[in-house]
Chain A
Amino acid sequence: MSKFFSFKLYLEGIKKSRLQGITISAIVTALTALIPLVRLLSPTVYYEQGYEPSIEIISPSHFALPMLLLLFLTPILTLSMFSFLNKRNESDFYHSIPFTRPCVYFSFLASVLTWLTVTLAASLALTTVLWCFVPYTAFSVTTPLLLFGTYFLATLLLTGFTALAMTLTGTLISNLLIFALLFGFVRISGALFVVCLENQFPLMITELTPGRLLLPEFNMPLALLLVLFTGDESSAFSNAPLWIYTAVISILLIAAGCFFYTKRRSEMAGKSAPNRILQHIYRCAVALPMTFLIVFYALETDFDSQGIIILTVLTLIVYYLYEILTTKRLKNCLKASLFLPVLLVGGLLFGGGVTIASNVAASYAPDADELKSVSIYRGSSYYYSDRSYQNLKTQAVEITDPKVLEFVADKLAEMKAIVSDKGVDAYQYPNRRHEIAYYEGDVYDEDAFAYADPITLKITEKSGRVCGRTFRLTTADYSRLITLFIETKEYEDAFLSLPAKDEILEYGLPDVYDSDTQEKIWDCFANEYNALTREKKVEYMSSRSYGLTLDVWGTVGVSSFYNGYPLDPNLLPQTCAMAVNAANAEYETGFRDMLATFNTSDVTGVRINLYTVYYYTYVSGFGADYLAALKFAEGCQAPADGNSVLFRLTFEYDVYYFSRYYLLSEADFSSFCIQLGMGQPDGYEKPLEIVE
């Protein structure tokens, strides 16, 4: 008989919890499958008839909400499995059976994990199959595997927390409170500390400090919850340190649970704590985050006395309520009062810690020769929708160019000086004084717009220390920094690179539906792009498009990306020609019929939308009014010659919808727009200027 595991006992554990296990599996599987099922059964709800929808990448978020339910149900399953520890007769029974305590603990724990694994596997398998049948969606085969790994680790962590809480306490209320304490104390305290610190010195990026281990993002279940709000899936699903950390913490929690289970006395069942000392510790630990909140509030509001009094009363209520709820004896409150100074000391340490840490951070200004590398940091605040292939690639590039390091060291020294002399707000909001003047006195100041958007850099020192700072640079400094970055070959390669074909999951081009054709157009695009000069590539990659793009969706590792490459006829003439031919072929017959209809009848309510790479407009009126202009455009179609405009017209009237692509010279395009009644078209947006 093994000292640590019994297969028979494990099977008994499975049987013992089968009602809860099956219920949880059924609920989670059904809810997870519901999303693709609804999409599958009601496609028209999502895809407006007549419009070709864009391809949707099925990412872990598509599974997230119902699967998060599993995280809430995991502690319930564990509580149910080890509920015998809260009842004296049951506790006695399981302590009297001929198995060692570790054997009972691990066998039952394995049963819980089995149900959780079954739930995960069933819900992911069914949902994955269903998503395969939902049109206009694509996903990587690694997505379900990532989801399984991530959620398994999250449930493992929760099981560890719950099991440990149950071995330390003996009533349901104390189980739940100590679980919440173990699960949340470090995170809540860490989050309060970090928020307090970031408010004191908002230019630092705490995610890049070792203290990030204490942040909610470094707690897998919380990280999964945060994905719902931030959309940053990489913070949970592709965060290797978080995976390793979660696995290690889970193992430690489970081992600690085993230790306390073995040491636990059966008579603890029904008692909130094994002894009075631990009862004092538990109670103080429950109330301490409230104390930190008082300090946090005091620092944020410049010691607003009313709020502090309310929070103090709430803290005392929590403190005494814990005692009353867990011991059910009012007179214990007297003894509990003796330990109130612990809260006071905790609050003072918290406040002192924040002040010291923010002062240390504000005075950070290493010399250039102390720096090892710099990279752009996009972090968890970076929106998923903005995640381009270039961003994914460039943020991984560590720039070691001495000119960059010197630039960054100078800017850090400048930051330190401004923060020291004028305060952090003066650095963070350099435009504020101009904005205030502008709105209040109607005074326009050129300097008010001399600053670029904030840029966050990850700075790595030669000592190995890593920190992040958000810089407010002037537009000129910003351009200089980006130019310096691009001068680094590795960065330039990343910035100018196209996704490899095996990284692309789906292609998209308006009005071209055949995937083979789309892929051929992509191949043509890649060949033309790769043949461009460096300057042209930089110009192309720096430009922004508002329509007519060749879209690609894909993944780099576990991070998804989306890129819309502008169909610029002057840089990519062959690609544009292919796109025009392929798209027009789709609606050729319909288009000819439409022209005939405009010619012979009085068609009203026609709307014509015009899309160029950087421009969109529309007109509406009688079909006959547009016939001449359309015939003009049809006659001017010509290959791109370096001075061409590619545009797409869509026609909407009655129940009809057509699309037509044109490649005209700039002069013909202007003439066409005027004939159509759209007026002279707007110019193109200038790409980012490269400062030499």
Chain B
Amino acid sequence: MIHAENVTMRFDEFTALNKLTCTIPDGCIYGLIGSNGAGKSTFLRLISGVYRPAEGNITVDGAPVWENPAAKADIVYVPDDLYFLPQSNMNRMASFYKTLYPNFSYERFRNLTATFKLDPAANLNTFSKGMRRQAATILALSTLPKYLFFDETFDGLDPVMRNLVKQVIYSDVMERKTTTIITSHSLRELEDGCDQLALLHQGGIVFESDVQNLKTSLIKVQIGFREPFTREKFEGLDTASYTQVGSVASLIVRGDREELAPRLSAMKPALLDFLPLTLEEVFIYEMEALGYAFKDVLM
């Protein structure tokens, strides 16, 4: 389990993280979204032991990460800006990773290289940006880590390869219960695989939730009546959003659909429809409820 408590990180006069507190349970895929400069990469560097927090504590399995090789041996960090040894190929990198990470598995490395159809003997300089990301992902997964951190990993990958990388990562998490943190500035990249999502803004987590709860906690309803009506008609419902165009209203309602449906049917509507919400829409409504304008936070 990763636990960050009141973590503050400053760069000269700029505060990148401000009293951030969060807990990431074991085996969880934790999605961290935020705009550029929100503090996502800083958070990953802190929990990888690259940075030392100015204030607060970060522990992994109860032990501090900073200058703790034992803790760091279970952590692999795949940054946004990748590093490979000069003029190396994947085989050379594999032997390098084997030196650094005792659990590195050549068998896994070979399997993943075959899956991604990468030539392990080819110079990494000849690889495209997407191929280099795949290579970094393969190397990271081959270390059989307990904690795996990806910073903007899906950037630069074409849709097919993005899905393949995601599949590989998710299956690894399923098989080995790897705790994974993935950052992105795009919610759409994370919505289909993460167990938990957190939104970072100005160095703090402004919103954090279980994805399953998030998706089922808000319900979008389209409802119409023959007679004129106003918002007051829905008093008693926990309405996150309300818009009305003529005789049709759109509501975002917090609650259980099974419980909500009979209540709305009892109003004898001419039109009643329950529509699926995208995670982005859920985020927008939840953020608005918290007083943030989503476009200000994530655009």
Contact = CB atoms under 8 A, between A and B. Distances in A.
Given A95-B49, A266-B45, A89 B81 contact: yes
Contact of A89 (B69, B72, B82): B82
Interface string B229-265: 0000000000000000000000000000000000000
A645 B40 CA distance: 98
Given A98-B72, A98-B101, A16 B85 contact: yes
B69 A98 contact: yes
Nearest to A16: B85
A267 B77 contact: no
Interface stretch (A6-14, A379-387, A408-416, A592-600): A6-14
Contacts of B83: 84, 89-90, 92-93
A92 B50 contact: yes
Nearest to A1: B69
Contact of B96 (A12, A95, A262, A266): A12
Contacts of B72: 96-99
A92 B101 contact: no
B49 A88 contact: no
A266 B51 contact: yes
Contacts of A98: 69-73, 75, 100-101
Given A88-B81, A275-B12, A96 B49 contact: yes
Contacts, number: 59
Given A89-B79, A89-B81, A275-B12, A11 B51 contact: no
B8 interface: no
A433 interface: no
A84 B96 CA distance: 15
Contacts of A90: 83
A265 B51 CA distance: 7
B67 interface: yes
B123 to A, nearest CB: 14
Contact of B99 (A12, A88, A100, A262): A12
Given A12-B96, A89-B81, A89-B82, A96 B50 contact: yes
Contact of A9 (B11, B85, B99): B99
A101 B100 contact: no
A262 B67 CA distance: 9
B51 A267 contact: yes
A99 B68 CA distance: 8
A95 B50 contact: yes
A384 B217 CA distance: 93
A12 to B, nearest CB: 5
A95 B69 CA distance: 11
Interface string B190-229: 0000000000000000000000000000000000000000
Interface string B48-90: 1111100000000000000101111101010101110100000
Interface in A225-262: 262
A523 B88 CA distance: 67
Contacts of B99: 8-9, 11-12
Interface residues of B, number: 25
A96 B77 contact: yes
Looking at chain A's contact residues, is the secondary structure mostly helix, strand, loop, or mixed? helix
Contacts of A262: 67
Nearest to A3: B69
Interface centre among A96, A101, A262, A265 (most CB of B within 10 A): A96
B48 A96 contact: yes
B70 to A, nearest CB: 7
A553 B240 CA distance: 102
A16 B93 CA distance: 11
Contacts of B73: 98
A12 B94 CA distance: 12
A16 B101 CA distance: 17
B12 A93 contact: no
A278 to B, nearest CB: 12
Nearest to A84: B83
Contacts of A1: 69-70
Contacts of A275: 12
Nearest to B100: A97
Contacts of B77: 92, 96
Contacts of A89: 79, 81-83
Interface centre among B50, B51, B73, B81 (most CB of A within 10 A): B50
A16 B82 CA distance: 17
Nearest to A276: B12
B69 A99 contact: yes
B50 A100 contact: no
Contact of A266 (B50, B67, B71, B101): B50
B79 A93 contact: yes
A100 B65 CA distance: 11
Contact of A100 (B69, B81, B85, B101): B69
Nearest to B99: A8
A51 B299 CA distance: 90
Nearest to A100: B67
A471 to B, nearest CB: 61
Interface in B139-163: none
A235 to B, nearest CB: 41
Contacts of A84: 83
A84 B77 CA distance: 17
Contacts of A266: 45, 50-51
A97 B85 CA distance: 14
Contacts of B79: 89, 92-93
Given A95-B49, A275-B12, A101 B67 contact: yes
Nearest to A87: B83
Given A92-B45, A99-B69, A267 B11 contact: yes
A9 B99 CA distance: 7
Nearest to A8: B99
A55 to B, nearest CB: 50
A446 B50 CA distance: 82
Nearest to A262: B67
A149 to B, nearest CB: 33
Interface in A75-112: 84, 88-90, 92-93, 95-101, 103
Nearest to B101: A98
Contacts of A103: 69
Contacts of B11: 267
Interface in A96-144: 96-101, 103
Interface string B1-28: 0000000000110000000000000000
A95 B83 CA distance: 12
Nearest to B85: A16
A203 to B, nearest CB: 54
Contacts of A11: 99
Contacts of B45: 92, 96, 266
Nearest to B45: A92
Interface in B27-52: 45, 48-52
Contacts of A95: 49-50
Contacts of A88: 81
A692 to B, nearest CB: 78
Interface string A1-34: 1000000110110001000000000000000000
Interface in B114-160: none
Nearest to B49: A96
B101 to A, nearest CB: 7
A22 to B, nearest CB: 14
A182 B201 CA distance: 43
Nearest to B83: A93
Given A95-B50, A96-B77, 4 more contacts: A92-B77, A93-B83, A98-B72, A99-B72
23 contacts: A8-B99, A84-B83, A88-B81, A89-B81, A89-B82, A92-B50, A92-B77, A92-B81, A93-B79, A96-B45, A96-B50, A96-B72, A96-B75, A97-B72, A98-B69, A98-B70, A98-B75, A99-B100, A100-B67, A103-B69, A262-B67, A266-B50, A267-B11
Interface of A: 1, 8-9, 11-12, 16, 84, 88-90, 92-93, 95-101, 103, 262, 265-267, 275
The 8 closest A-B pairs by CB, nearest first: A98-B72, A89-B81, A98-B73, A93-B83, A98-B69, A95-B50, A96-B48, A8-B99
